[in-house]
Amino acid sequence: MDRIVVQGGRPLSGTIPIAGAKNACLPLMPATLLTEEPLTLTNVPRLSDIVTMGRLLESLGVEVSPMRDGKVMALSSHALTGHLADYEIVRQMRASNLVLGPLLARAGHAVVSLPGGCAIGARPMDIHVTALEAMGAKIELRDGYLHAAAPGGLKGAEIELRFPSVGATENTLMAAALAKGTTVIRNAAREPEIRDLADCLIKMGADIEGAGTPEIVISGVDRLHGATHAVLPDRIELGTYMLAPAIAGGSVELIGGRLDLLGAFCEKLDAAEIDVVPTENGLRVTRRNGRVAAVDVVTEVFPGFPTDLQAQMMALMCTADGVSVLEERIFENRFMHAPELVRMGAQIEVHGGVATVTGVERLKGAPVMATDLRASVSLILAGLAAEGETVVHRVYHLDRGYERVEEKLGACGAQIERVSE
């Protein structure tokens, strides 16, 4: 297992390229199951989660051909050989459950392992199941697997999600594309990745209106054809690297960054006295003063403050001038970075889903442990600002969602290196 070693205290300057979005690519890849023709994705991020999804699709008979050192991916599912998403793969990556909708639509059956709990929460699938059952699927939980069947094909339905689940919206959207009749998804998730998936499905011949709004209307078609689609830029990688100059000082340009992907996140940066200025190649982020201002954060569904940036924002608030309160409303256990930040001298009190952070002048480098994807990168951000050396262990979590962090930050002047343990 590798570890990342950071010597803190160096302000950043330079540019960071933003890669394609992990959370757009992970539903786009299973969309290949909806057609026998080839689907080509460009701007694909080089991440271990993408490799995992590729392995899962190959286990179903899909041909997955990464090209151009992984930035382009050709997928072809002209001959499916399986319909089982095995526990071994699903437990590593919950997004494996995104084969459920397309497999049901294409093959009329699917056996998908429940993901089981993960570090940040129980991760149930009741919203996915309720939506697909409304479309005529028969779904039974047996031996930890969802056994789903729609022998006569899926039919359009009026569906109201009890919560705007991103994955449930994506599974339902893909299933509805080939259902008989019209499907209306109400209280649909509005994350930009939903819009990106819909844009790709429309290129493949789907009839979809309203993606990105709370109500999506899908008129099922008989078949979909192949397409080529560029993966949306990653708004969570973008937000993460916007916080790097904020915490370390200096000014960095994020190539490919777009304000429209960030929702309420940018308002919080402004309140924290961090300047964000659009440039012709992306966004430039500069810390206005010697220390950021403390701001309160509540995580919400898009366009609210993203839960996937909460850990990173907490790292910044650890060095802010004042007290900030961060409330995590999306997941039940997403503060595991807090005790690790406390080891670096942060002052954080956690009560249930609320963390109160009292900013300190300086964090102190320490050996810390990554527990989940976003927690691990928040520790690296803290290390950039800390006095001395920070060693982040178990960085396999990091590689799930961030391409070459040490290279991207190192190119901006950070003293950071990856060491194989």
**Which residues form the catalytic set?**
118
One-letter amino acid of 255: I
- Determine, following the binding rule CB under 6 A, whether residue 195 of this chain makes contact with ligand EPZ: no
**Interatomic CA distance for residues 176 and 198, integer angstroms:** 11
The DSSP letter of residue 116 is -
The answer to whether 165 contacts ligand EPZ (rule: CB under 6 A) is yes
Judge residue 152's burial from the number of C-beta atoms within 10 Å of its C-beta, 0-12 exposed, 13-18 middle, 19 or more buried.
exposed
Residue 129: helix, strand or coil by DSSP? helix
What is the rounded end-to-end Cα distance, in angstroms, of the chain?
A: 5
Sign of CA dihedral 328, 315, 257, 410: negative
DSSP letter at 38 equals -
In eight-state DSSP terms, residue 119 is T
Residue 94 binds ligand EPZ (CB under 6 A): yes
95 contributes a contact to ligand EPZ by CB under 6 A: yes
Q: Which is nearer to ligand EPZ, 127 or 398 (CB)?
A: 127
211 contacts ligand EPZ (rule: CB under 6 A): no
Draw the binding track, 376-405, toward ligand EPZ (x: CB under 6 A; -: no contact): -------------------------x----
**Could you say whether residue 121 binds ligand EPZ (CB under 6 A)?**
yes
**Binding test (CB under 6 A) with ligand EPZ, winner from 113, 240, 307, 312:** 307
Residue 237: which H helix or E strand, with range? Answer: helix 235-248
C-beta closer to ligand EPZ: residue 101 or 250? 101
Residue 77 engages ligand EPZ in binding (rule: CB under 6 A): no
Q: How far is the CB of 391 from ligand EPZ (least distance, A)?
A: 23
Among 88, 126, 140, 158, binds ligand EPZ (CB under 6 A): 126
Q: Can you give the length of the chain in residues?
A: 421
Does the protein bind ligand EPZ through residue 319 (CB under 6 A)?
no
**127 forms part of the interface with ligand EPZ (CB under 6 A):** yes
Contact, 3 vs 419, CB < 8 A? yes
Instruction: Sort strands 415-420 and 182-186 into parallel, antiparallel or unpaired.
Output: unpaired
CA nearest neighbour of 186 among 208, 164, 155: 164
Specify the stretch interacting with ligand EPZ by CB under 6 A; choose among 19-27, 64-72, 278-286, 309-317: 19-27
Count residues near ligand EPZ (CB under 6 A): 24
- CA neighbor of 44 nearest in space, from 230, 236, 238: 230
Site for ligand EPZ in 361-380 (CB under 6 A): 373-374
Residues that bind ligand EPZ (CB under 6 A): 22-23, 26, 94-95, 121, 123-128, 163, 165-168, 307-308, 330-331, 373-374, 401
